[in-house]
A and B are shown apart, each in its own frame.
Chain A
Amino acid sequence: GQQLNQSPQSMFIQEGEDVSMNCTSSSIFNTWLWYKQDPGEGPVLLIALYKAGELTSNGRLTAQFGITRKDSFLNISASIPSDVGIYFCAGPIYNNNDMRFGAGTRLTVKP
């Protein structure tokens, strides 16, 4: 099936540092979504990207839809302790109703 490969698997950073993570696929996606999951909760949408080359920001978060449509990047600037969690990329395949998720990037922020 379709695979979304996320890297890195985990990150340990100091508060105030910037963070970059990415998601790649061997197949083309028409939409890229970035979710964050806090412990014991369901994922929450952070940013949605719908167009190749699109760069979208949401506060300290910035995400880009790769030109090849096979990758996407998420950057977090000036990290804070509440950024801790698991970040997932996701995208719909086939008929746009079948969603695929990456394995996630686990972020730890040291105060």
Chain B
Amino acid sequence: NAGVTQTPKFRVLKTGQSMTLLCAQDMNHEYMYWYRQDPGMGLRLIHYSVGEGTTAKGEVPDGYNVSRLKKQNFLLGLESAAPSQTSVYFCASSWDSAYEQYFGPGTRLTVT
């Protein structure tokens, strides 16, 4: 039982490049989330999903898109990366509420 996994663990992009971060969970959770964490700050919610085929905006959605085509996967896309998107990105999932979330190990993204 791997829990929540994230791919890749590290990535360096040039400004304007695009990429997709993959989150996978094997706990059959309905809810999935993408956060970003910047130094000295807590986690900020980017987008979330309450079930397969659904997505919704969180606190800081600009510059990101998401898709939930399969229940176990939640993809985060950056269409045109900017230096302000340099951050550590965490994915999380939960059963039937937003309360007890299980987090992945994070993806460290640097945009130069």
B-binding residues in A (CB < 8 A): 1, 4, 6, 31, 33, 40-45, 48, 50, 88, 90, 92, 96-104
Contact = CB atoms under 8 A, between A and B. Distances in A.
B42 A88 contact: yes
Contacts, number: 64
Interface of B: 4, 31, 33, 35, 40-45, 48, 50, 56, 58-59, 90, 92, 97-101, 103-106
Nearest to A42: B103
A102 B42 contact: yes
A41 B42 contact: no
A44 B100 CA distance: 9
A48 B99 CA distance: 8
7 contacts: A45-B100, A45-B101, A50-B99, A92-B98, A99-B45, A100-B42, A100-B59
Given A33-B100, A41-B106, 8 more contacts: A40-B105, A40-B106, A42-B106, A50-B99, A96-B97, A98-B45, A98-B98, A103-B41
